[in-house]
Amino acid sequence: MDMSPFSENTSTMFVEVARISRPFPWENAKPYVDASEFADFRQRATTVIGAFRGIVMYSNQVVALNNAKMDDKKKNDQLAKYIEEATRKVSQEGMLDSIGIDAAELKAILADVRNAEVFLEGIAAASPLINAIVVSMGNQLEAIQSSIPKVFASVDSKIEADYADRKSNYANLVRLQVATMRGMTQIYKARRGDQAALDTLLREDPSVKELIPSPEKATGKSLAAAEAVLTDRAMKLDTFIHQMDSEAATYRAKRRELSDWQMSVEEKIKIARDAIAVWAQSHRNLGAGIPVPPLIDVGGIAKGLAKTVVPLP
């Protein structure tokens, strides 16, 4: 059977998926990614990427065996060795229970592979293990996805802690600016004879009382002096706020970058899930002697993934 389509489809798909192993391009929030939560997250991601590479290597070995000039008995003996090697790579730290099987089950599966009369039957005999690997990979991806909120919250809290005082100062300046502009509006109304506006001004901004002790003592000169004070204050506040605008922009950029990271990881997890599902189906079809291309356009899927693929952290 011609396995070149299986090889090309598998390699193409997993080469594209392997691109997600590139680090996320942190810029503004880079100082925060050394948190312990990120270290754990990165380790989980590294384990999954290693498993994908093990699957790609195994798939290429299957194709090489098919093309080798040896009888099917020897091919299946070698296939069993490759399957065992791949199983160790896919399992976490070589622990078989991480993929839901034990040593006895693995031994039985390998025996079935070796005892198969033809090569494709040997591939088919590995199906229970392939199914276990798919479940394990799904569980690992689920663990990564479940850890996203914890990592996000950790970094988010650090950003908030770093900017808490500056955010408070910025908010206070903006509030004072709004109050000052409102005071200037009240002076304008008072000049037009609005007594209530003058009462509001003196009640909301006690500093003006130095110039206008009471509504009864308000004069055109005192109102002009109060307006000059508020105008000067408004200009200074505007300067202070603009000086803090760059810090506010950096704060927003850090928060935005953190959100971008979260969305990118969630997208990559979806890509990885689709990839392992397509590969498993392709492997099962191969063992059953079903031509892969008519059933699954893996290459086409991979090209589609390449357009949306984003790097792992």
Number of domains in the chain: 2
Structure tokens at 62: 């299957």
Structure tokens at 122: 């040997």
With b for 16 or more beta-carbon neighbours within 10 A and e for fewer, the 233-269 pattern comes to bbeebeeebeebeeeeeebeebbebbeebbebbeebb
Both 188 and 133 in one domain: the answer is no
| Residue 262, domain member (yes or no) | no
Residues 6+ apart with CB under 8 A from 303: 12, 16
Structural domain containing residue 19: 4-148+268-307
| Residue 83, domain member (yes or no) | yes
Both 51 and 74 in one domain: the answer is yes
Distance separating alpha carbons of residues 241 and 166, to the nearest angstrom: 11
Per-residue pLDDT tens over the stretch 136-149: 888 889 999 999 99
Angle at 48 between CA 46 and CA 50, to 5 degrees: 70
Both 193 and 298 in one domain: the answer is no
| Residue 18, domain member (yes or no) | yes
Distance separating alpha carbons of residues 58 and 276, to the nearest angstrom: 14
| Residue 303, domain member (yes or no) | yes
Is residue 115 within 8 A of residue 71, CB to CB? The reply is no
Q: How many of the other CB atoms lie within 10 Å of CB of 15?
A: 12
- Which pLDDT score is estimated for 39? 83
| Residue 154, domain member (yes or no) | no
User: What pTM was estimated for this model as a whole?
Assistant: 0.73
pLDDT < 50 positions in the chain: 294-313
| Residue 140, domain member (yes or no) | yes
**CA atoms 119, 125, 131, 136: torsion sign:** negative
Q: What is the CA radius of gyration of the chain?
A: 34
Distance separating alpha carbons of residues 146 and 79, to the nearest angstrom: 35
Both 272 and 247 in one domain: the answer is no
- 3-state secondary structure at position 291: coil
The conformation of residue 33, written as its DSSP 8-state character, comes to T
- Which pLDDT score is estimated for 263? 93
Distance separating alpha carbons of residues 32 and 41, to the nearest angstrom: 14
Closest to 81 (Cα-Cα) out of 60, 55, 111, 53: 111
Both 21 and 130 in one domain: the answer is yes
With b for 16 or more beta-carbon neighbours within 10 A and e for fewer, the 83-98 pattern comes to beebbeebbbeeebeb
Distance separating alpha carbons of residues 299 and 164, to the nearest angstrom: 50
Both 143 and 172 in one domain: the answer is no
Both 90 and 185 in one domain: the answer is no
- Which pLDDT score is estimated for 50? 84
Both 144 and 275 in one domain: the answer is yes
| Residue 290, domain member (yes or no) | yes
- Which pLDDT score is estimated for 302? 42
Is residue 217 within 8 A of residue 199, CB to CB? The reply is no
Both 135 and 168 in one domain: the answer is no
Angle between helices 36-67 and 72-90 (to 10 degrees): 180
Is residue 265 within 8 A of residue 22, CB to CB? The reply is no
Both 119 and 228 in one domain: the answer is no
- Which pLDDT score is estimated for 307? 44
> In Å, what is the CA distance from 125 to each residue of 26, 106, 116, 133, 292?
45, 11, 8, 14, 18
Both 94 and 124 in one domain: the answer is yes
| Residue 312, domain member (yes or no) | no
Both 19 and 128 in one domain: the answer is yes
